[in-house]
């Protein structure tokens, strides 16, 4: 995990940026727990061995990742909590859906209070 102090885009005093690399192999993520602090600018950079749509619950961020290149989700961790990242549709599909089927929790993001 790399720590970079940076000026936040909102012009506040320096907010901590945190970048975490996550690798999905055989439908398992490594690491499967990411801990950050409230107020951090969080970047999760994903690499996968098969196409997958990821969904970070709570912050409600979706990301489609293919094996060819790493993809990032970046957001301000403004809310504390323990948020699952779930894999929808391993193998890739264009449709959006309403959380009907079995979804696998790949990772938990814990945003700790300052």
Contact positions vs other proteins (CB under 8 A): 9-10, 12, 38, 55-62, 74-76, 78-84, 86, 96, 98-100, 102-103, 105, 108, 110-113
Nearer to other proteins, 47 or 64 (CB): 64
CB of 96 to other proteins, least distance (A): 6
CB of 63 to other proteins, least distance (A): 8
CB of 9 to other proteins, least distance (A): 8
Nearer to other proteins, 46 or 83 (CB): 83
CB of 97 to other proteins, least distance (A): 9
Nearer to other proteins, 9 or 91 (CB): 9
Helix/strand/coil (H, E, C) string of the chain? Answer: CEEEEECCCCCCCCEEEEEEEEEEECCEEECCEEEEECCCEEEEEEEECCCEEEEECCCCEEEEECCCCCEEEEEECCCCEEEEEEEECCCCCCCCCCCCCCCEEEEEEEEECC
Nearer to other proteins, 16 or 80 (CB): 80
CA angle 63, 106, 75 (to 5 degrees): 40
Q: How far apart are CA 11 and CA 99, in angstroms?
A: 37
């Amino acid at each position: 995990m790399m720590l970079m102090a940076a000026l936040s885009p909102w012009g506040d005093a320096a907010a901590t940026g945190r970048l975490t690399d996550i690798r999905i192999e055989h439908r398992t993520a490594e690491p499967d727990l990411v801990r950050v602090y409230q107020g951090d600018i969080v970047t999760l950079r994903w690499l996968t061995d098969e196409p997958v749509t990821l969904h970070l619950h709570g912050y409600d961020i979706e990301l489609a990742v293919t094996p060819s290149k790493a993809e990032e989700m970046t957001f301000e961790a403004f809310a504390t909590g323990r948020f699952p990242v779930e894999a929808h549709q391993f193998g890739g599909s264009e449709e959006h859906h309403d959380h009907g089927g079995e979804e696998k929790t790949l990772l938990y993001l814990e945003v700790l209070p300052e």
